[in-house]
Structure 1
């Protein structure tokens, strides 16, 4: 799911850079540093619409392959809601990662697109970790409440 999400993100970024030059996008990302997190999410979604859309499509496209790759997972792997939530957490992580990297790197050597992409990838991974953690916590809590 993560690799398909990253692949979708990169395809979307390629699409977005075909319509707006990457130097302009980079400058706009740098200028978004003082925004709040929610404003930054909205700004990035408007700035990179295809990157966000194709990342979610990439994450959801993992559903058919999950049953083949993990037969022990059964129907839990094919739950659309879980995959949409995971993709949403990956979006949050991607924006948070790029925002944090922009903030921390500004004080160092300057900003470059590869550092921002590194922040996005790192944020996507941690967004997925949070999603899986919350998902498992939900089922553990639900099972314990059933036993009580």
Structure 2
């Protein structure tokens, strides 16, 4: 019941904010955001995180310089452990604060493009992973 109320809240926020598309499967994002996110992801993220957001091989093992390789964003890594604000922060500030080498995109991508990118990779998450993220994120 709580999940249904939360999903309804997300839909109401989308309607109030002028978003005419319906959310996808009760998630926070729309199909239009997924489509825009795929373009943004392909142009800015796929070269490191993989064309399918699968991440690098051995992404959990530190590199010689002590940083971590790009993790998967497709639901098989740890991105689902991070709340929405932290995902946005990582895109804005890059991965250095968490031991990675991801560049900061805060000056390159608009907030809408950043959100669309998250929508795209979250669209790859199965329902179980998305629901676990949703519960943790407090949306």
Q: Do the two structures share a fold, i.e. TM-score over 0.5?
A: no
Structure with max Cα Rg: 1
TM normalised by structure 2 equals 0.30
Q: Greater helix share, 1 or 2?
A: 1
TM normalised by structure 1 equals 0.29
